[in-house]
């Protein structure tokens, strides 16, 4: 950077942190309206069944206002995964279903004056299930003996290739094959799904939702209820975590329907069981990996085949298979590679985004396979990765990656591996780790690398609109359709605007997305696009505004542009009197009849890769099968960190999710599709006492087209820790655990 | 509207009066920390119920050293048990078990009375109390106390000998001597805030380094903790050393094979039992070293 950064890369506290800690923040669950009705879904207890519901008794209960079933709702199918009108995918969901297709499927909604009346009403429903054969798991789906939808359970298939795989394998001295699986994961946001809807005095349906994409909620609701887009106002409310789980609208269409139907505000709240069963999950997968290497350790060919469990509705079935595949072509320089991704329908909770969107799956087994390849030729797994990792590619317009995607940019995976190896003391640990072993405890080391992206550019429309305006009191209003999911998105935008305009971030207000107030944004807060794309937009708009400010100042005071300076909210020049930004705004209005603002429609210019390397030392109990993480270092290629505290938080939180994927988190169904893990007593996340201190190291070598050189962090953070931990467990035990999670039971089984 | 009546007796007499009422109703729950009750009413969808809160009775919140027993009030919290010097001296296994129940927040509320009266098969304090030879003291609606061995009181999964008009008011454990040692260990799905897949408690009496009496229990492998007769017997007159540990590990696996021959969890638990046996063995070893 030419100039020293004032706000970028610094540790700045989140403005909303204090209220959240004190419990003052009003989440959707805390919102109330005069005359508001409470609602709760009734979800199917059977995986596949025709449902009959007798509502008579429930309706007779005092305080029960309405019970809606399939009979009452519009029969207009929609696909909750559609985030804009052009995303074409089959529409196969209704807001309530007659035939339940998974445990957790929406079959009724009870509305009441109080939560208690709703509970009573739910208990008084007489629900009969005519059970139908259920398809549980990918293997069952592939048998095709029962078809979930359409003509085949295979709902999507995609092949991506580069080079010539057949001749690539012919060049190999060794071929290393592995099979493995990853599980369905629940997002475990602390706030369960919730939504409030009301109709305003102008007849607009207002939906308050802790969501990731207000325009997607608007689109899906318009489809589901067959009402006009412009009459649906979606306001993003405070959110208690999403991790992808609140990406697709689940409650919004039905909440809107209930508000319109009853003419009263309606708030629908889920409990944990609903959130696990009735929303979305990370797609489970079964994988086959085949890697060809030379005896010197160069990967010459690779084949990755992944079957995904898409769940009962189409939702993200195609996107997950494609997104996962793309990441296989980004970390290592492999001349010939083939990826085949297939998604199958099953009678389980539909798949959806879950922090990493395919990356956690595609790296899960392949990174174990990479270790096995290194082992085959007796090479250190870190060195093996360094030998094969891609080099940074100087950015040039139109450059493409191996499979025709936008260029990977300033790819710093080698730096991550080299710096991490040094920082972690990998070599020294490798030499002495065995000395720690006892009869009962085994100590091991693991490493893994991973790649992720920066938005939709190259695949889907990826642009956003932004307006930045200077207010008369020198404060700055930034209008952009962003959703802070707890990651600190708002503060990130504040810091970017602050850096350009040279004014404290405290003076910058970035309201969150509201379809009726925020300018249109094409893709929402997802796909690791916000810092890179929306941050890029804010930066460019702020620069435009700064140019206007300088020009206006010059016009007013008759100085030249090179004489003008902006500092700490003041604008001035060598020869003229300084004034604050607010006074300049007033001057512009008075003198030039114009608003001191800048408008911009910003199209993403690139979609570079981001990379991480994770190093772990672990202690495994050979009796209990328990895994204790002794040390973990995460190195991320961040381009440029915007807020150091938030960046570390993202990496540490991501590690918590990923490590949980490796050893304990799993949504389990029995053969009939009954959900066995419907609460946190049975669905195990890594909790605080078991969570190690996650050390972080950022490689900051700048991404040419990112704001101040920044690129994505948060999703990538949830990818490599899992395979690194698996490798660390396999290392001392001599096992080849490739089925996630490596629970104590599975570890003991592998050992005995 | 909700009609949940809440009674908070302060004395034994007031409790007796309430027990008379409880005899006539089936919607009246005795409650202390409510960590089990809250889950129960949610799971069962119970909307109308009343509670008798035992946490306002000072005498149920004390741990007292009597002539030959330690008397623990039913409303003593896990935190208090864990930190009590009396319990650490006379019932170390119970302090250990209490310290590993749930989270800090749960331990601050959950009580020994609740843990025992709810009689979950995985209840940690029950295994410890069995090993320590504890008794249960019950009070009925006539104001009569009765005492019975805890092993008899706990019948099985969620079942005890408690009658509708009775309240569990005390747990008594025999006072230890300096030659008595006890210990507890467990394994769940994770290290902390976890429900036992298997737990283990022992009480041993030593003469020099030789075991003269042994009580050894394993919980969470049956409806209530199992007394490991073979392992107990094996310890008698043997020295507490590594050689014995190796024998105990094998005996432990055998115990699991016999206790749950057909369950799929057998494969894991027959190995995991070596972990809890080792933990307890080493704990006893270090307790003895300190002295």
- Structure confidence by residue, pLDDT tens digits, A530-564: 999 999 999 999 999 999 999 999 999 999 999 99
Residue-range definition of the domain harbouring residue B204 = 62-291
> Which of A119, A623, A690 has its CB closest to that of B272?
A623
Q: Write a three-state SS string for A649-713.
A: HHHHHHHHHHHHHHHCCCCCECCCCCECCCCCCCCCCCCHHHCCCEEEEEECCCCCCCHHHCCCC
The predicted pLDDT at position A398 comes to 62
The CATH number of whichever domain residue B43 belongs to comes to 3.30.43
Contacting residues of B for A628, CB less than 8 Å apart: 191
Residue B1, domain member (yes or no)? no
Q: Does residue B70 belong to any structural domain of this protein? A: yes
For the stretch A75-86, pLDDT in tens is 999 999 999 999
Contacts of A665 in chain B (CB under 8 A): none
> How far is Cα of residue A546 from the mean position of the Cα atoms in its chain?
33
- Helix or strand run (H / E) with residue A321: helix A317-327
User: Which DSSP string corresponds to B150-207?
Assistant: HHHHEEETTEES--TT-EEEEEEEEPP-TTEEEEEEEE-SSSSS---SEEEEEEEEEE
Mean pLDDT along residues A678-702:
96
What is the per-residue DSSP string for A416-472?
A: HHHHHHHHHTHHHHHHHGGGG--SSEEEEEEEEEEEE--SSTTTS--EEEEEEEE-T
The pairing of strands A232-236 and A205-209 is: parallel
Q: Cβ–Cβ of B190/A114 closer than 8 Å? A: no
**What spatial distance separates the first Cα and last Cα of chain B, rounded to whole Å?**
61
Residues B166 and B28 occupy one common structural domain: no
The residue of B271, B273, B276, B279 whose CB has the most chain A CBs within 10 angstroms, and thus the best one to mutate to test that interface, is B271
Q: Which residues of chain B does A748 touch, with a Cβ-Cβ cutoff of 8 Å?
A: 267-268, 271-272
CA distance A714 to A244: 11
Q: Check if A113 contacts B (Cβ < 8 Å).
A: no
Pull the structure tokens for residue A611.
């990379």
Q: Does residue B238 share a domain with residue B175?
A: yes
Chain B residues whose beta carbon lies within 8 Å of the beta carbon of residue A114: 1
Interface residue A40 vs chain B (CB under 8 A): no
B271 and A CB contact within 8 Å: yes
Q: Which residue intervals of A202-316 are DSSP H helices?
A: 214-225, 252-262, 272-277
Of A3-7, A668-672, B140-144, the range with the lowest mean pLDDT is: A3-7
* Nearest one of B71, B60, B73 to B172, comparing CA atoms: B71
Q: What is the pLDDT of residues B83-114, one digit of tens each?
A: 999 999 999 999 999 999 999 999 999 999 99
* pLDDT for the residue A395: 67
- Give just the sign of the alpha carbon dihedral B193, B196, B202, B203: positive
3-class secondary-structure state, position A61: coil
- Residue of B38, B42, B49, B268 to mutate when probing chain A, most A C-beta within 10 A: B268
Q: Give rounded-to-5 percent helix, strand, coil for chain A.
A: 30, 25, 40
User: How many CA atoms are closer than 13 Å to the CA of A392, on its beta-carbon side?
Assistant: 16
State whether A123 and B45 contact (CB < 8 Å).
yes
Please report the pLDDT score of residue A399 as a whole number. 67
Q: What count of CB pairs under 8 Å joins A to B?
A: 60
Residue A300's nearest CA partner among A342, A335, A250 is A335
What is the C-alpha separation between A532 and A410, in angstroms, rounded? 14
- pTM strictly above 0.90: yes
**Which pLDDT value is given to residue A406?**
87
Residues B188 and B246 in one domain: yes
B24 assigned to some structural domain: yes
Q: Does B187 reach chain A within 8 Å, measured CB to CB?
A: yes
| Per-residue pLDDT tens digits for A11-70 | 999 999 999 999 999 999 999 999 999 999 999 999 999 999 999 999 999 999 999 999
**B109 and B44 fall within a common domain:** no
Domain shared by B37 and B69, yes or no: no
> Which candidate, B7, B46, B1, B54, places its Cα nearest to that of B27?
B46
Query: Which of B22, B40, B56 is a domain's end point?
Result: B56
Task: Say if residue B18 is in the same domain as residue B152.
Answer: no
- CB distance from B192 to chain A under 8 Å? yes
> What pLDDT is recorded for position A353?
97
Residues of A in contact with B195 (CB under 8 A): 681
The token duo for A447 is 């490493």
Query: Does B190 contact A626 at a Cβ distance shorter than 8 Å?
Result: yes
| A120/B contact by beta carbon, under 8 A | yes
Give A265-280 pLDDT, tens digit per residue. 999 999 999 999 999 9
If asked whether residues B147 and B172 sit together in one domain, one would say yes
- Compute the distance between CA of residue A374 and CA of residue A368 in angstroms, rounded to an integer: 10
Question: What are the φ/ψ torsions at residue A656 (nearest 5 degrees)?
Answer: -60, -45
* Cβ pair B191:A626 closer than 8 A: yes
Token output for A621: 């109990």
CA-nearest of B232, B233, B277 to B253 is B277
Distance to chain A for B186, nearest Cα, Å: 10
Cα–Cα distance between A187 and A705 in angstroms, integer? 31
Alpha helices in chain B (DSSP H): 12-24, 37-44, 78-83, 85-90, 92-99, 104-109, 112-118, 124-131, 150-153, 229-235, 242-259, 266-290
- Provide mean pLDDT across the span A179-208: 98
- Write the CATH number for B213: 3.30.465.10
pLDDT of residue A1: 45
CB atoms within 10 A of CB B14: 15
Q: Is A324 helix (H, G, I), strand (E, B) or coil?
A: helix
Decide if A687 and B271 are in contact by the 8 Å CB cutoff.
no
**Residue B150 domain-assigned (yes or no):** yes
Q: What residues of chain B lie within 8 A of the CB of A745, using their CB?
A: 265, 267-268
8 A C-beta contact, residue A418 and residue A447: no
Helix or strand holding residue A122 (H, E): helix A115-124
Task: Indicate whether B208 belongs to any domain.
Answer: yes
A750 and B CB contact within 8 Å: no
Strands B159-160 and A106-112: unpaired
pLDDT at position A752 is 92
- Asked whether residue B52 falls in the same domain as residue B157, the answer is no
Which residues, 6 or more positions from A384, have their beta carbon under 8 angstroms from its beta carbon?
A297, A370, A373, A374
Percent of all residues in chain A with a pLDDT value above 70, rounded to a whole number = 99
Residues 654-673 of chain A with CB under 8 A from chain B are 664
* Domains of chain A, each with CATH number or no CATH: 17-21+458-603 (3.30.365.10), 31-132+193-269 (3.90.1170.50), 285-454+606-751 (3.30.365.10)
What distance in Å separates the CA atoms of residue A318 and residue A322, rounded to the nearest whole number?
6
Expressed in angstroms, the distance from the first to the final Cα of chain A is 57
Inter-chain touch A621–B45, beta carbons under 8 Å: no
Closest CA to A213 of A460, A409, A411, A407: A460
Q: For A245-259, what is the mean pLDDT?
A: 98
Do A468 and A538 contact (CB within 8 A), yes or no? yes
Same domain, B73 and B191: yes
**Structure confidence at residue B48 (pLDDT):** 87
Chain B residues lying within 8 Å of A625, measured CB to CB: 268, 271-272
Domain check: are B27 and B100 in the same one? no
Average pLDDT over residues A343-352: 98
Pull the structure tokens for residue A202. 């102008």
Q: If 0-12 CB within 10 Å is exposed, 13-18 middle and 19+ buried, where does residue B46 land?
A: middle
Residues of chain B with pLDDT under 70: 1-3, 290-291
Residues B96 and B231 in one domain: yes
Dist CA A663 CA B43 (whole Å): 28
Identify the three-state secondary structure at position A602: strand
**Dihedral sign from CA coordinates of A197, A201, A202, A203:** positive
Q: Is residue B219 part of a domain?
A: yes
| Counted domains in chain B | 2
Same domain, residue pair B67 and B50: no
Contact B190 A625 (CB under 8 A): no
């Amino acid at each position: 950077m030419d100039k020293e950064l004032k706000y970028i890369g610094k540790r700045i506290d989140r403005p909303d942190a204090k209220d959240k800690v004190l419990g003052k923040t009003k989440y959707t669950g805390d919102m109330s309206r005069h005359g508001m009705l409470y609602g709760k879904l009734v979800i199917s207890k059977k995986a596949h069944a025709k449902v009959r519901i007798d509502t008579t008794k429930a309706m007779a209960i005092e305080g029960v206002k309405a019970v809606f079933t399939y009979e009452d709702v519009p029969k207009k199918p929609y696909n909750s995964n559609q985030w804009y009108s052009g995303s074409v995918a089959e529409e196969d969901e209704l807001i309530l279903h007659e035939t339940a297709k998974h445990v957790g499927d929406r079959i009724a909604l009870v509305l009441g004056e109080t939560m208690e009346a709703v509970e009573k009403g739910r208990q008084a429903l007489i629900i009969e299930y005519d059970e139908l054969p259920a398809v549980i798991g990918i293997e069952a789906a592939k048998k095709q003996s029962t078809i979930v939808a359409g003509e085949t359970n295979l709902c999507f298939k995609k092949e991506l290739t580069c080079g010539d795989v057949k001749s690539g394998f012919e060049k190999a001295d060794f071929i290393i094959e592995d099979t493995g699986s990853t599980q369905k994961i629940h997002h475990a946001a602390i706030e369960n799904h919730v939504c409030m809807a009301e109709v305003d005095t102008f007849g607009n349906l207002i939906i308050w939702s802790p969501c990731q994409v207000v325009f997607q909620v608007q689109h899906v609701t318009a489809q589901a209820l067959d009402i006009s887009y412009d009459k649906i106002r979606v306001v993003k409310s405070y959110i208690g975590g999403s991790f992808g789980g609140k990406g697709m609208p689940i409650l919004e269409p039905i909440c809107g329907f209930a508000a319109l139907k009853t003419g009263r505000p309606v708030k629908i709240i889920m409990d944990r069981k609903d959130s696990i069963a009735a929303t979305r999950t990370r797609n489970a997968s079964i994988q086959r990996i085949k890697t060809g290497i030379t005896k010197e350790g160069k990967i010459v060919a690779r084949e990755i085949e992944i079957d995904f469990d898409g769940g009962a509705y189409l939702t993200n079935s195609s996107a997950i298979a494609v997104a996962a595949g793309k990441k296989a072509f980004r970390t290592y320089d492999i001349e010939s590679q083939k990826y085949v991704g297939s998604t199958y329908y099953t009678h389980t909770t539909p798949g959806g985004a879950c922090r990493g969107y395919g990356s956690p799956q595609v790296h899960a087994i392949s990174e174990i396979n990479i270790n096995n390849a290194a082992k085959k030729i007796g090479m250190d797994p870190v060195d093996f990765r360094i030998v094969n990792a891609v080099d940074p590619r100087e950015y040039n317009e139109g450059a493409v990656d191996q499979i025709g995607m936008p260029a990977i940019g300033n790819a710093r995976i080698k730096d991550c591996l080299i710096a991490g190896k040094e920082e972690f003391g990998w070599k020294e640990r490798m030499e002495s780790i065995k000395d720690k072993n006892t009869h009962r405890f085994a100590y091991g080391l693991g490493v893994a690398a991973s790649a992720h992206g920066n938005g939709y550019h190259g695949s889907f429309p990826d642009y956003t609109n932004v307006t930045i305006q200077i207010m008369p009191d020198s404060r700055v209003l930034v209008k952009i359709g962003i959703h802070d999911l707890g990651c600190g998105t708002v503060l990130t935008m504040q810091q970017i605007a602050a850096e350009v305009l040279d004014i404290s971030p405290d003076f910058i207000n970035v309201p969150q997305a509201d379809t009726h107030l925020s300018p249109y944004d094409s893709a929402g807060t997802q796909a690791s696009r916000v810092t890179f794309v929306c941050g890029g937009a804010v930066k460019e708009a702020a620069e435009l505004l700064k140019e206007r400010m300088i020009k206006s100042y010059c016009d007013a005071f008759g100085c030249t542009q090179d004489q003008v300076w902006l500092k700490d909210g003041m604008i001035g020049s060598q020869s003229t009197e300084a004034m604050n930004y607010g006074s300049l705004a007033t001057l512009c209005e008075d003198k030039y009849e114009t608003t001191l603002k800048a408008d911009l429609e910003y199209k993403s210019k690139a979609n570079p890769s981001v990379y991480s390397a994770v190093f772990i030392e672990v202690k495994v109990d050979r009796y209990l099968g328990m895994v204790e993480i002794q040390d973990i270092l995460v190195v991320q290629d961040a381009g440029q960190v915007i807020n150091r505290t938030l960046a570390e938080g993202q990496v540490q939180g991501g590690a918590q999710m990923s490590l949980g994927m490796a050893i304990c988190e799993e949504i389990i169904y029995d053969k009939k599709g009954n959900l066995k893990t419907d609460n946190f007593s049975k669905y195990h996340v890594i909790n605080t006492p078991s969570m190690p201190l996650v050390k972080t190291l950022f490689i900051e070598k700048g991404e040419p087209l990112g704001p101040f050189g920044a690129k994505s962090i948060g999703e990538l953070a949830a990818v490599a820790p899992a395979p690194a931990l698996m490798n660390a467990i396999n290392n001392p035990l001599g096992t080849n655990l490739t089925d996630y999670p490596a629970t104590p039971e599975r570890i003991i089984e592998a050992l005995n | 509207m909700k009609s949940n009546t809440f009674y908070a007796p302060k004395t034994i007499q007031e409790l007796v009066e309430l027990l008379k009422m409880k005899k006539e109703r089936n919607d009246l729950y005795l409650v202390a920390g409510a960590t089990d009750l809250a889950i129960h009413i949610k799971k069962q969808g119970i909307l109308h119920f009343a509670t008798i809160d035992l946490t306002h009775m000072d005498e149920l919140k004390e741990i007292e050293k009597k002539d030959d027993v330690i008397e623990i009030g039913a409303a003593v919290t896990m935190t208090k048990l864990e930190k009590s010097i009396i319990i650490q001296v006379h019932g170390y296994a119970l302090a250990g078990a209490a310290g590993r129940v749930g989270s800090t927040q749960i331990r601050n509320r959950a009580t020994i009375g609740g843990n025992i009266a709810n009689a979950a098969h995985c209840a940690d304090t029950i295994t410890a109390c069995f090993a320590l030879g504890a008794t249960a003291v019950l009070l009925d609606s006539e104001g009569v106390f009765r005492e019975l061995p805890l092993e008899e009181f706990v019948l099985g999964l969620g079942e005890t000998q408690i009658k509708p008009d009775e309240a569990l008011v005390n747990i008594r454990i025999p006072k230890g001597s300096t030659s008595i040692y006890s210990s507890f260990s467990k394994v769940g799905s994770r290290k902390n805030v976890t429900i036992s897949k298997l737990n283990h408690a022992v009480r041993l009496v030593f003469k020099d380094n030789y075991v003269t009496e042994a009580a050894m229990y394993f919980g969470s492998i049956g409806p209530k903790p199992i007394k490991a007769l073979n392992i107990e017997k094996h310890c008698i007159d043997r020295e507490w050393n590594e050689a014995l540990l190796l024998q105990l590990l094998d005996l432990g696996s055998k115990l699991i094979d016999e206790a749950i021959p057909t369950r799929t969890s057998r494969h894991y638990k027959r190995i995991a039992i070596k972990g809890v046996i080792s933990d307890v063995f080493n704990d006893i070893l270090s307790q003895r070293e300190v002295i």
